[in-house]
Chains A and B, each alone.
Chain A
Amino acid sequence: GIQVEQSPPDLILQEGANSTLRCNFSDSVNNLQWFHQNPWGQLINLFYIPSGTKQNGRLSATTVATERYSLLYISSSQTTDSGVYFCAVSPFTDKLIFGTGTRLQVFP
């Protein structure tokens, strides 16, 4: 099956810093989503982005499908950005395969 690797596994930032999270996947996909899990466990969908670039406020994401990777950019980070960021992919259905996540801690 498809392998999903996320890097870095952990990231510590000071408020205001920018960061880039990476997701590599081992096969072609037509469904790729980024999620944020807050410290209380709630998973929120950030982007559906099987290809191209999208932006939502301070967050943006780019997927280069031909090279099998996706990037999540967080600009001017805030303490509320803390949590775990997951990338999830699927080749042809809604049954997503998740990476192991990047844990982000933002300090004031």
Chain B
Amino acid sequence: DVKVTQSSRYLVKRTGEKVFLECVQDMDHENMFWYRQDPGLGLRLIYFSYDVKMKEKGDIPEGYSVSREKKERFSLILESASTNQTSMYLCASSLRQGAGNTIYFGEGSWLTVV
């Protein structure tokens, strides 16, 4: 079975802190994604990576950056956390570019910025 592991399940950070959310997948998938989920808004794509060192902005990239130095690992970085970034963050992966690939999600990371 595909496993997508998010390193931290619950985090509390202070405004202005730099925050790293780590995600690892174990199935050699090319595609990796970071979404955030907020009540009433569903899931919104922050960043997408289709290969090592490659990234594309999603719908809401402002305030975030990403890093993909190895195929299995995709990191989301909040350079200076703000309270409006309090949310649940979901990492996902899929096999490769092109329609039709099942997407697998991690368990989510609940981030609170105070």
Contact = CB atoms under 8 A, between A and B. Distances in A.
Interface residues of B, number: 29
Contacts of B48: 95
Interface in A53-108: 86, 88, 90, 92-101
Contacts, number: 62
B45 A95 contact: yes
B84 interface: no
Given A86-B43, A98-B42, A45 B103 contact: yes
A42 B9 CA distance: 11
Contacts of B110: 41
Interface of A: 1, 4, 30-31, 33, 35, 40-45, 48, 50, 86, 88, 90, 92-101
15 contacts: A1-B59, A31-B99, A33-B103, A35-B105, A41-B88, A42-B107, A42-B108, A43-B90, A43-B92, A43-B105, A43-B108, A92-B99, A93-B99, A96-B103, A101-B42
